[in-house]
Amino acid sequence: MMKIGITCYPTVGGSGIIATELGKMLAELGHEIHFITSSLPFRLNQVHPSIYYHEVELSHYPVFQYPPYDLALASKMAEVIDREELDILHVHYAMPHAVCAILARDIAKRDVKIVTTLHGTDITVLGIDNTFKKMIKYGIEQSDAVTAVSKSLVKQTKDMIGTNKEISVIYNFVNEQEYHKKDLQLIGEKYGIKKHEKVIIHISNFRKVKRIDDVIQTFNHIKDKVDSKLLLVGDGPEYSNAVKLTEKLELEDRVLFLGKQKNISDLLSISDLKILMSEKESFGLVLLEAMACEVPSIGTNVGGIPEVIKHDETGFLVDLGDVEKASQYAIQLLSDDTLLHQFSQNAFKHAKNYFHSSIIVNQYIDIYNNVLLDK
Ligand code: GMT
């Protein structure tokens, strides 16, 4: 049994989901889990006797222009490392979380091991502000072990940071108890979706990198050939632009803006195809969520997406911005029920064989055991 601290951004986002689900599964396996986060992780929705939550409290002392989150976190980490006698501190993101963990390790009396998981966001930060390069490199190199969510992210990190640090690939996973296909035709009816209509779904935080316009443009071609509806799930900075484009293309009665939703697996269960046209994506957890619910995907050939979608088997890959090709593939798939069924079964099997939670959680446990052996 290990005592493991976990730090992530607790908001709705792939990295927070992975960190929280990992903690829940490790607790089920008998490990003691201590979440050290600024608020309760949103997926931490059940009580478990081996899961603890330590809130990082931000001080609003008037001399500080901004509340010092990083220092408050490091101080909380150091306190939890000593009081709870942590063996491992698993942090998600090199910046700031690995850097905070290193500071906490220096402050604490215990020889805790630091495992850092990269989700891609550090690289995005670097793309915007190169002054953080040395800080991210430090966070990575001073960690006892580093993992990344795709081969593509390992390469990108090494190219941009210039480090020789070993980075192990551990893919994303889903909680299969929640993500599986359910018989929910009634929900579709409640949304006004007719039985014969095909349902295309896009789920994201509506940031610019997600290229929502490309999703809507792809759907605009699809709807000419296939009677269909587009579900847009999520919210974010590009939301109002997406609404405007929908109005411009006169798609209001075919595109449903659902906003942020909790029961994503229910919405996937009424969907036939998932579309992700991102320009950056280190893995694309939503693709795996779709696969687990027997939904094939069309995605761009960028970042880690080609490591998730098997072209012409579980879905299709297209070049960034190629909405014509994306719609051609979608029409091919949605117009042939036998092919669609085949792809949905391939997607489900691929998720089970390569990304099953039991495989992935064991890979993290191996990493923990290896760093503890070096003690
Ligand atoms: O996609 C986002 O904007 C959220 C972001 C995050 O930090 O939570 O997701 C990143 O981590 C996920 C979990 O590993 C990956 O599945 C996403 O692909 C990755 N997002 C990007 O690389 C843009």
Residue 335 Cα to ligand 1 midpoint, Å, equals 32
Predicted TM-score (pTM) of this structure: 0.95
Evaluate if residue 91 carries a pLDDT over 90.
Answer: yes
Q: What is the DSSP string of 339-352?
A: HHHHHHHHHHHHHH
Asked whether residue 205 falls in the same domain as residue 135, the answer is: no
Find out whether 142 and 114 touch, Cβ atoms under 8 Å. yes
- Ligand 1 site, residue 205, Cβ cutoff 6 A: yes
- Model confidence at 122, pLDDT cuts 50, 70, 90, reads confident
- Ligand 1 site, residue 15, Cβ cutoff 6 A: yes
Please report, for the domain that includes residue 302, its CATH number.
Answer: 3.40.50.2000
- Ligand 1 site, residue 315, Cβ cutoff 6 A: no
Asked whether residue 344 falls in the same domain as residue 199, the answer is: yes
Asked whether residue 146 falls in the same domain as residue 189, the answer is: no
Asked whether residue 161 falls in the same domain as residue 13, the answer is: yes
Evaluate if residue 82 carries a pLDDT over 90.
Answer: yes
Evaluate if residue 375 carries a pLDDT over 80.
Answer: no
Question: Per-residue pLDDT averaged across 243-272, rounded?
Answer: 97
Our measurement of the distance from residue 261's CA atom to the centroid of its chain's CA atoms, rounded to an integer in Å, reads: 15
- Ligand 1 site, residue 280, Cβ cutoff 6 A: yes
- Whether 180 is in a domain gets the answer no
Asked whether residue 152 falls in the same domain as residue 194, the answer is: no
Total tally of structural domains belonging to the chain: 2
Residue to probe by mutation, ligand 1, list 8, 9, 11, 15, most atoms within 8 Å of CB: 15
Give me the residue label for tokens 């579709």. Answer: 188
Each residue's pLDDT tens digit, 198-221: 999 999 999 999 999 999 999 999
Domain with 113 in it: 3-173+356-373
Closest residue by Cα to atom 7, ligand 1, is 15
Phi-psi category of residue 33: left, alpha or beta, with phi > 0 → left and psi -120 to 50 → alpha: beta
Residue 106 Cα to ligand 1 midpoint, Å, equals 30
- Whether 178 is in a domain gets the answer no
Task: Give 130's DSSP letter.
Answer: G
Evaluate if residue 30 carries a pLDDT over 80.
Answer: yes
Per-residue burial over 13-47, b = 16 or more CB atoms within 10 Å of its CB, e = otherwise: bbbbbbbbbbbbbbbeeebbbbbbbbeebebbeee
Question: Per-residue pLDDT averaged across 100-118, rounded?
Answer: 97
Identify the pLDDT of residue 219.
98
Each residue's pLDDT tens digit, 130-164: 888 999 999 999 999 999 999 999 999 999 999 99
Question: Per-residue pLDDT averaged across 259-278, rounded?
Answer: 96
Residue 149 Cα to ligand 1 midpoint, Å, equals 9
For the question of an ipTM over 0.85, the answer is yes
Closest residue by Cα to atom 9, ligand 1, is 14
Find out whether 371 and 115 touch, Cβ atoms under 8 Å. yes
Identify the pLDDT of residue 10.
85
HSE-CB at 221 with a 13 A cutoff on CA atoms is 16
Identify the pLDDT of residue 304.
98
**Positive or negative torsion for Cα 257, 262, 265, 270:** negative
With 0-12 / 13-18 / 19 or more C-beta atoms within 10 angstroms meaning exposed / middle / buried, residue 109 is exposed
Q: What is the DSSP string of 132-168?
A: GHHHHHHHHHTSSEEEESSHHHHHHHHHHH-----EE
How far, in Å, CA of 185 to CA of 190, rounded? 9
Asked whether residue 145 falls in the same domain as residue 196, the answer is: no
- Whether 179 is in a domain gets the answer no
Question: Per-residue pLDDT averaged across 288-300, rounded?
Answer: 98
